[in-house]
Amino acid sequence: MTEIVLTEDGSHTLYVPELKEHYHSIHGAVQESEFIFIDHGFRTSRASPVRIFEVGFGTGLNALLTAIESASAKRKTFYTSVERYPLPLHITAQLNHSSLFPDEADISGRIHSCPWNTTSQITDTFSLLKIEGDLIQMDLKGDYDLIYFDAFGPDKQPEMWTDEVFEKISAVTVSGGRLVTYSAKGSVKRSLKRAGFEVSLFPGPPGKRQITCAVKI
């Protein structure tokens, strides 16, 4: 049974006993997501409007932080996320992410309550398409400027970190588009390079030595 865990920065994450894996770093869920996906992703991408594809919607934290940032920057954002196992509302309702951003609490509610497989306008600057499906089996289409790769780790969900998956991602990433992920594993870097990305490592957030940032050549 999925368990709610309080991380070191005061934000919640979830623990999945079957996988022996947390959704986020226990050193700080919000801190980790902001560092990797906002600081090294959203704020680094030069695209405006920016088209984002996320692998692993999870708790919706990355979407929430991006929606907040897009509103602050007045930068129109089209956000698409795929999730094979959507969390039920009675779980996401217990997470404290919205209470950490009281001025944007309504954004969190709209992100979780909007329907799957339909584009919803969450704010004036942020639209969201949550896709319930298996990325491996999907016929992926579109042109994206920024990829948030946030699947469970390669040791827990190896089928999500294969050459085939990264080639599929590469095919919908525009030239110069950026991919960010928390994993700095050698096999991940090699797969990204084979899929046409130029790969760089950056120091990670607390508890994480390095993260991977890649640019589509």
Largest CA distance in the chain: 43
**Closest Cα partner for 148 from 125, 197, 176, 181?**
181
Task: Quick: pLDDT tens for 76-128.
Answer: 999 999 999 999 999 999 999 989 999 888 999 999 999 999 999 999 999 99
Mean pLDDT score across all residues of the chain = 97
Average pLDDT over residues 63-82: 98
Task: Quick: pLDDT tens for 124-176.
Answer: 999 999 999 999 999 999 999 999 999 999 999 999 999 999 999 999 999 99
Average pLDDT over residues 2-13: 97
As assigned by CATH, the class of the 27-216 domain is alpha beta
Domain ranges of the chain: 27-216
Query: The tokens of 141 are what?
Result: 């289409």
